Amino acid sequence: MFSSGSQLPLPSVTNLQVDSVNFPPSVISPASSNRLFLGGAGVRGIDVLGDKFVIITFFGVYLDPVAVPLLSVKWKGKTTEELMESVPFFREVVTGTFEKLIKVMMRVPLPGQLYSQIITGTSVKIWKSLGIYTYSEAKAVERFLEVFKDEKFPRGASILFALSPEGSLTIAFSKDDSIPETGKAVIENKLLTEASS
C-alpha cells in the first residue's frame, strides 16, 4: 500500500466514453485507497494483414491530483494539440513521481498468459537492446507472468495496474468494469512498472 499524501482537490473532469465503454471521472486506487482523476482514455489494438486495425482493449489512465502542478511547471503554455503530439510529455506522465492507475478493459477475450507475454516480450527486447535488463528485471518479469498465468479475461473484464511514485506495481483483476478494493499482487521493479503503462 502506498499513499501520495496529496490533499489537492480533484480536477473537474467528466466521464469519457470510448466506444461502448464508460470511464468515470475518478476512481479509488486498489493500491492506496487514494482517489485519482481521469487523465485520458483510448484503445489498443493490432493491424491485421497490414490494412485493418482491430481493437483488442480499451484503457483509461487515472492520475493523482498532484500530477497537475508537477506537469504544469514544464508544460505551461502548450496547446492541447502540442501535448497530444509530444512523446516527451507522455513519457513524463508515465515516469512522473505521482500515483497512476491504468484500467485495461477487454474488447475481445484474452487468456492471461498471452496478455502477460505480449506486455513483457516487447519490454524485455527493449531493455536488452539498451543493456538495462538485469537479474532484478528478470525476476520481476517472472513474477508478472506468474500472476497472469491462470487468469482468463472475457470480454468486459478489467486488468488494473496501480503504479506508485517509487516504482511498485500493484496488479488487480475484475470480471467487469468494477475496481477491486485491493490488488492481487505487488511487484517492486520500476522498469516493469513503467512498462505496464
Q: How much is the mean pLDDT over the chain?
A: 89
Q: Is the pLDDT of residue 171 over 80?
A: yes
Q: Span 178-194, mean pLDDT?
A: 90
Which H, E and C letters describe 107-137, residue by residue?
CCCEEHHHHHHHHHHHHHHHHHHHCCCCHHH
What is the Cα–Cα distance from 51 to 63, expressed in whole angstroms? 34
- pLDDT tens digits for 94-109? 888 899 999 999 999 9
- Rounded to two decimals, the pTM is 0.88
Q: Is the pLDDT of residue 55 over 50?
A: yes
Q: What is the CATH number of domain 16-64+99-195?
A: 3.50.70.10
What is the Cα–Cα distance from 178 to 171, expressed in whole angstroms? 14
Structural domain spans, the chain: 16-64+99-195, 65-97
Q: Span 29-57, mean pLDDT?
A: 86
- What pLDDT does residue 2 have? 45
Band of the pLDDT at 1, cuts 50, 70, 90?
Answer: very low
